[in-house]
Amino acid sequence: MIVFDHVSLTYPGATTPVLSNIDLRIPEGELVLVVGRTGSGKSTLLRAINGLVPHFTGGTLTGRVVVGGRDTATHAPRDLADLVGVVPQDPMSGFVTDTVEDELAYGMECLGLAPAVMRRRVEETLDLLGLAEIRDRALATLSGGQRQRVAIGAVLTAHPRVLVLDEPTSALDPGAAEEVLAALQRLVHDLGVTVVMAEHRLERVVQYADQVIVVPGDGQPLHVGLPVDIMRHAPIAPPVVELGRLAGWQPLPLSVRDARRAAGPLRDLLVGRTPALRAVVDSPRPLAQASEVTVSYGSRTALRGITTGIGEGEIVALMGRNGAGKSTLLHALVGIGPRARGSVTVGGHDPRSLDGRSLLHQVGLVPQEPGDLLEATSVADECRAADRDAACDAGTTRALLALMAPEIEDGTHPRDLSEGQRLLLALCVILAARPPLLLLDEPTRGLDYPTKSRLARVLADLADAGHAVLLATHDVELVAEVADRVMIIADGEIVADGPTLDVVTSSPMFAPQVSKILSPQAWLTVDQVAAALAPPGPLPEGVAG
């Protein structure tokens, strides 16, 4: 179905190819997972499948990419639209209409399908992706996860033979992600659709893949193989695999179900041991307070009498399904958007009463779309502007970026960065002012595991220095690693608030993989298990040292 024949790609102005001499065969009806470091070239590989590379991006492509018998060199993306559907990292970048239902129908209109066919496919897609309740909503009013599902649906209605997805579950809550992955499974198994997806959250998808393609970056050769073979030695792996490596399980499990079957001896060994948790002040000095906050958008109530606080040195995770009100609460804490009732104080002030620079030194928000914060034409100019806005020493923002993303070059335009790289640049722009309260909206979207680990260390260092961090996220593994406390919000109300270990281990939806595997014991991360097993001693049969 998809053939790469000695393909190399060099972007304009680059001295080395991002993809080099690739030979690849992807048969019909397979789900192929593309993994690699942030900025390694995964998106480039995906875009080459429908000809966006190089027809749209520019650059020099040698070799041949053939999809369903069509050579992308002689077929522009529009000539492949009936064959290949593409869902980009940023859903809003691909929307062309105003409402959900219109967006689902637009691609079929371009292909000239009959109205009766269009109506049937729209209804099928609304049900398939759980979008029926928001069919009349304006796209601009949707949460990030809802937009992601609409973007997938808009492609599916055309019934492509090849579906290409870039980070399809990155903005989805765990339940919605499972729904999307189940839908993709049905397309692959029942209809023979070939699905190629890039995804950093391997814990969600690796168990479903038929093949895994590792893109090392820097023009190095791809590694292609079965998931279990690739994961055995891969430098990036989900917690279930890391725990399997630690325990020496053979065969290496890829799913929680398989890991639980092997975990009996490990659970026995951990009896009487407890995970080491980060020390937190019992009664931290409050940095932000919300009291009876109610926010409405027209007839829709997004927050219903929210009362909560965040203290000095705390890392608090805000979790909940898509559209529950997480982003709205973050906006309220920084003084953005309507507030029908209640009060908000940050550092003793209502954020609405502060001018821009004063607000910047009290609270910083990194939004779901980090590009909204970036205005300059190069990374270097963006860093200099951030230093001026924050009134900090020259080079402060650039030094932060070198710590978090050393691969990003000064001369790169921010829009040419990957989604994850843009997020890291926006985070450094905010951190330059050293705000006591840091708000992050889906901070790991587009981040690979090593970069996410660097982010976790930065957040822990900030908390140790007395800053407070509130992150709205669907990334249960990040929450397990860094959060001291978890708030779960549903339909605009806080329904759970307590220590991370208590809240997530009791939640089937928001529990991390290690917690699910070792339940009923309460563990969150592989590192906690490894620390509890050290120093190494004699292990029972079935658990390797």
Cα separation, 134 vs 100, in Å, equals 7
pLDDT of 476 over the 70 cut: yes
Six token digits for residue 425:
């640049």
For residues 174 and 291, membership in a common domain is answered with: no
Quote the pLDDT of residue 306: 96
Residues 143 and 292 in one domain: no
Tokens, residue 334: 């920084």
* 221 in the same domain as 271: no
Tell me how far apart the alpha carbons of residues 276 and 278 are, in angstroms, rounded to a whole number: 7
pLDDT in tens, 32-42: 999 988 778 89
Residues 159-174: b if buried by 16+ CB within 10 A, e if exposed: bbbbbbbbbbbbbbbb
Q: Are residues 84 and 191 in the same domain?
A: yes
Residue 165 CA: distances (Å) to CA of 46, 169, 193? 8, 9, 13
Edge-to-edge strands, sheet with 162-166: 84-87, 162-166, 194-198, 31-36, 211-215, 223-225
- Does residue 310 lie in a domain region? yes
Residue 76 counted as domain residue? yes
Same domain (yes/no): 346, 366: yes
| Distance of alpha carbon 543 from alpha carbon 545, whole angstroms | 7
Same domain, 260 and 325: no
**Three-state DSSP string of 7-37:** EEEECCCCCCCCEEEEEEEECCCCEEEEEEC
- % of residues, the chain, pLDDT over 70: 98
pTM given for the model: 0.85
**Residues 307, 189: one domain?**
no
User: Which range is least confidently modeled, 2-16, 272-286, 290-304, 324-338?
Assistant: 272-286
Residue 539: pLDDT over 60: no
Neighbour count for residue 357 (Cβ, 10 Å): 12
Q: Are residues 108 and 216 in the same domain?
A: yes
Confidence of residue 540 (pLDDT cuts 50, 70, 90): low
Given a cut of 60, is residue 544 above it in pLDDT?
A: no
pLDDT at position 309 over 90: yes
Is there a domain that residue 123 lies in?
Answer: yes
Share of the chain above pLDDT 90, in %: 66
Count: domains in the chain: 3
Domain assignment present for 519:
no
> Are 462 and 333 members of one domain?
yes
Residues 524-530: contacts with CB within 8 Å, 24+ apart?
524/275, 524/480, 524/481, 524/500, 525/239, 525/275, 525/477, 525/480, 525/481, 526/239, 526/242, 526/243, 526/246, 527/481, 528/275, 528/276, 529/243, 529/246, 529/266, 529/270, 529/275, 530/246
C-beta of residue 164 within 8 angstroms of C-beta of residue 87: yes
Judge whether residue 198 has pLDDT over 90.
yes
What is the model's pLDDT at position 224? 94
253 and 115 together in one domain: no
Same domain (yes/no): 495, 545: no
Average pLDDT in the chain: 90
- In this predicted model, what pLDDT tens digit does every residue of 376-417 receive, in sequence order? 999 999 999 999 999 999 999 999 999 888 889 999 999 888
In-domain check, residue 94: yes
Are 189 and 306 in the same domain? no
Asked if the structure places residue 307 within a domain, the reply is yes
518 inside domain? no
100-151 confidence digits (pLDDT tens): 999 999 999 998 999 999 999 999 999 888 899 999 999 988 877 788 889 9
Assign 186 a pLDDT band (cuts: 50, 70, 90): confident
CATH of residue 373 = 3.40.50.300
* Phi–psi pair at 336, nearest 5 degrees: -105, 140
C-alpha span between 150 and 167 (Å, rounded): 14
Within a domain: 520: no
For the residues 422-440, what does the mean pLDDT come to? 93
User: Measured between alpha carbons, how far is 237 from 201 in angstroms, rounded to an integer?
Assistant: 9
With bands split at pLDDT 50, 70 and 90, how would you rate the model's confidence at 491? Answer: very high
Confidence of residue 545 (pLDDT cuts 50, 70, 90): very low
Least confident of 209-213, 275-279, 314-318, 528-532: 275-279
**pLDDT digit string (tens) for 67-78?**
999 999 999 888
pLDDT band at 538 (very low <50, low <70, confident <90, very high): low
Spatial neighbors of 416 by CB under 8 A, at least 6 apart, are none
Q: Residue 24: CA atoms inside 13 Å, Cβ hemisphere, count?
A: 31
- Would you say 446 and 395 are in contact if contact means Cβ atoms under 8 Å apart? no
Query: Structural domain of residue 249, as residue ranges?
Result: 238-275+525-545
Point out the least confidently predicted range of 264-268, 288-292, 367-371: 367-371
Q: Say what the pLDDT of residue 319 is.
A: 96
Q: How far apart are CA 356 and CA 389, in angstroms?
A: 9
Residue 84's pLDDT band, with cuts at 50, 70 and 90, is very high
